[in-house]
Amino acid sequence: MSPSPMRRELDDTTGAAGAASATTTRPAIGAPSSGDVGFTVNRERQTVTVDNRTTLLDWLREQAGLTGAKKGCNEGACGACTVLVDGERTNACLTLVVQCAGREIVTVEGLAGPGGRLHPVQQAFIDHDAFQCGYCTPGQVISAVACIAEGHATDEATVREWMSGNLCRCSAYPQIAAAVLDAAARMRRA
């Protein structure tokens, strides 16, 4: 049973409706403790000036308007901030922007194809009702994309183990695991 269109619109946690747009920079705070960094976010090249203390998570949310990644724990223990850095799933809260020079960042907002065509993982999460409050969902979706690319979406137990870095307090784990396995199957058939 798929969720109603109304819910899909309200609960845009799969990033389906989000366009990839990263914006601007912040004035330098003081030369020694800040720096210029060039990297790519959702296929858009960025050159920004940041205080060295800025995490990728805070920059994405507060400077780039990419609020898909969530601050669940800010210590790398929940996975709600999971993004891809050079294709590898990473906790954005444990990554400094200054360490991202030359890297390619992908967030949940960057998954959909041209015209908003949903990524198979996004579609599978909707089809399997793989979220309740939706807070962990962007991190789950990104983590699942990487999990599948790593070749770890083989069976339920393996998916549960390799998705264990993404906590869900609503306990949608069975649906999430089903969505990951289904998306992997669809992508193999594609």
Partner 1 sequence: MREFTYAAPERPALALAALARAGAAPIAGGTELLNWMRLGIAEPAELVDVGRIGGWDRIALEDGMLHIGALATLNAVEAHEDVRRYAAALSQACLKAASAQVRNRATLGGNVLQKTRCEYFRAEAPLPWPCNKRDPGSGCAARHGVNERHAILGWTDACVATQPSDPAVALACLDAEADVIGPDGPRSIAMTEFHLSQAQAAELSPGRAAQLETRLAPGELIAGYRIPLREGERSAYVKVRERESFEYALVAAAAAVRLEGGVVREARLALGSVAQKPWRLDAAEAVLAGAPLTREIARSAIRAALADARPLAMNAYKIEMGANAALRALLAAGGQA
Asked if 163 contacts 180 with a C-beta cutoff of 8 angstroms, the reply is yes
Q: Contact letters (x/-) for partner 1, 45-74, by CB under 8 A?
A: ------xxx-x------------------x
**What separation in angstroms does the CA of 18 have from each of 30, 41, 94, 158?**
34, 14, 24, 30
Quick one: DSSP state of residue 63?
I
Cβ neighbors of 150 (< 8 A, separation 6 or more) are 162
Stretch that binds partner 1, among 41-49, 93-101, 109-117, 119-127 (CB under 8 A): 93-101
Closest CB to partner 1 among residues 29, 185: 29
91, 122, 123, 140: which one contacts partner 1 (CB under 8 A)? 91
Tokens of 90: 């990473």
Identity of the residue, 60 or 126, whose beta carbon is nearer to partner 1 in the bound complex: 60
Among 42, 90, 107, 122, binds partner 1 (CB under 8 A): 90
Do 87 and 143 meet the contact criterion of CB atoms below 8 Å apart? no
Which residues lie below 8 Å from residue 175, measured CB to CB, with a gap of 6+? 128, 129, 130, 131
Under rule CB under 8 A, residue 6 binds partner 1? no
Binding site for partner 1 (CB under 8 A): 29-30, 32-33, 35, 51-53, 55, 74-77, 79, 82, 85, 88-91, 93-96, 98-99, 101, 143, 146-147, 150, 152, 160-166
